[in-house]
C-alpha cells in the first residue's frame, strides 16, 4: 500500500468497517453470483477507497455492491463485477503486465495496481481520463494511461499477460486478442444491450483461444473513436 493510499483509508462513512462489510458480501456471494474466493483480490477491494472514484454526492453509496454513474453516460462497475473480473484474470496465473480497456473512473485500474501489477489503461473520453489520472496520482499509484480508441488497444506495449475490457462488444475484438501473450487471459463482457456474458479467454501456444463463460453481466457498449 502506498503512503498516500494508506492516508485515504478509514474515515467516517468510508471507514474500514464499511469496507469490511462490502468484502464480506463479496465473499459470501448471492443466489445469482458466486462468492469471491481470492483473498488478494478481496484485500485490494478492502484497501482501495472506492468513494474517491465517484462524485462526492454519491459517497454514502460508495461501498454498496452496485454500479454508480460517473458522467458521460458511463458507470463505475459493481464491486462484485470488478472483483470477479480481477479474480478470473489471476486464477491459476501470475500476470505481471495488464492492459485495461475503458479506464472510466480509474477504480478497476487502481485495484489492479494495488495487486502489484504493471497497469496500462486506455480511455476514449478525455474528461473521464483526466479525472482518473488525478485520482490515481493522489493515491500514489503508478498506472500508465492513454487517451485513445480502446478497440485499438495499446500495441506499443504488447504483449500483455492479461487484458480486462470494461465495456461490451458484440464479439471479442481481434486487435485485443492479438495483443495477448501466449498463456495470457482476456476477460471481457460480450453481447448486445439485451444480453451480455462475461467471458474469459486464454490464448494457446498455437495462437488459438479457449473460452469460458463466467456470468451474465450488464455493461455500457464498447464504442470506437475518442471524445475530448
Express each pLDDT in 160-179 by its tens digit.
Answer: 999 999 999 999 899 999 99
Q: Residue 125's closest CA among 54, 226, 222?
A: 226
Task: With a cut of 70, say whether residue 10 has pLDDT above it.
Answer: no
Report the pLDDT value the prediction gives residue 12, as an integer from 0 to 100.
47
Task: With a cut of 90, say whether residue 126 has pLDDT above it.
Answer: yes
The superfamily CATH assigns to domain 67-216 is Vaccinia Virus protein VP39 (3.40.50.150)
User: What is the CA angle 19-20-22, rounded to 5?
Assistant: 65
Q: Where are the domains of the chain?
A: 67-216
| Residue partners of 65: CB distance under 8 A and separation at least 6 | 22, 25, 26, 78, 79, 80
Report the alpha-carbon distance of residue 221 to residue 218 in Å, rounded.
9
Task: With a cut of 90, say whether residue 1 has pLDDT above it.
Answer: no
Please check whether residue 170 is in contact with residue 191, taking contact to mean a CB–CB distance below 8 angstroms.
yes
C-alpha cell at 211: 473460452
Check residue 34 and report its DSSP letter.
P
Average confidence (pLDDT) over 204-215:
94
Report the pLDDT value the prediction gives residue 13, as an integer from 0 to 100.
52
Please check whether residue 109 is in contact with residue 165, taking contact to mean a CB–CB distance below 8 angstroms.
no
| Residue partners of 117: CB distance under 8 A and separation at least 6 | 95, 96, 97, 98, 162
Express each pLDDT in 27-85 by its tens digit.
Answer: 998 877 889 999 999 999 999 999 999 999 999 999 999 999 999 999 999 999 999 99
**Selected residue with higher pLDDT from 4 and 204:** 204
Residue numbers annotated as active site: 77
Amino acid at each position: 500500500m502506498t503512503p498516500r493510499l494508506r492516508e485515504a483509508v478509514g474515515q467516517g462513512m468510508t471507514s474500514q468497517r464499511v469496507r469490511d462489510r462490502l468484502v464480506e458480501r463479496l465473499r459470501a456471494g448471492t443466489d445469482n453470483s458466486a462468492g469471491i474466493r481470492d483473498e488478494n483480490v478481496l484485500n485490494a477491494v478492502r484497501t482501495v477507497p472506492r468513494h474517491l472514484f465517484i462524485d462526492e454526492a454519491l459517497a454514502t453509496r460508495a461501498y454498496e455492491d452496485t454500479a454508480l454513474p460517473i458522467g458521460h453516460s458511463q458507470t463505475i462497475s459493481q464491486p462484485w463485477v470488478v472483483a470477479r473480473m480481477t479474480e478470473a484474470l489471476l486464477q491459476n496465473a501470475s500476470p505481471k503486465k495488464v492492459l485495461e480497456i475503458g479506464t472510466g473512473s480509474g477504480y478497476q485500474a487502481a485495484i489492479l495496481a494495488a495487486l502489484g501489477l504493471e497497469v496500462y489503461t486506455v480511455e476514449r473520453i478525455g474528461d473521464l481520463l483526466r479525472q482518473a489520472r488525478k485520482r490515481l496520482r493522489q493515491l500514489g499509484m503508478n498506472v500508465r494511461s492513454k487517451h485513445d480508441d480502446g478497440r485499438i488497444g495499446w500495441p506499443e506495449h504488447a504483449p500483455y499477460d492479461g487484458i480486462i475490457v470494461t465495456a461490451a462488444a458484440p464479439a471479442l475484438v481481434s486487435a485485443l486478442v492479438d495483443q495477448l501473450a501466449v498463456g495470457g487471459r482476456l476477460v471481457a463482457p460480450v453481447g448486445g444491450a439485451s444480453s451480455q456474458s462475461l467471458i474469459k479467454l486464454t490464448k494457446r501456444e498455437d495462437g488459438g483461444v479457449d473460452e469460458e463463460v463466467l456470468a451474465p453481466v450488464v455493461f455500457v457498449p464498447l464504442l470506437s473513436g475518442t471524445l475530448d
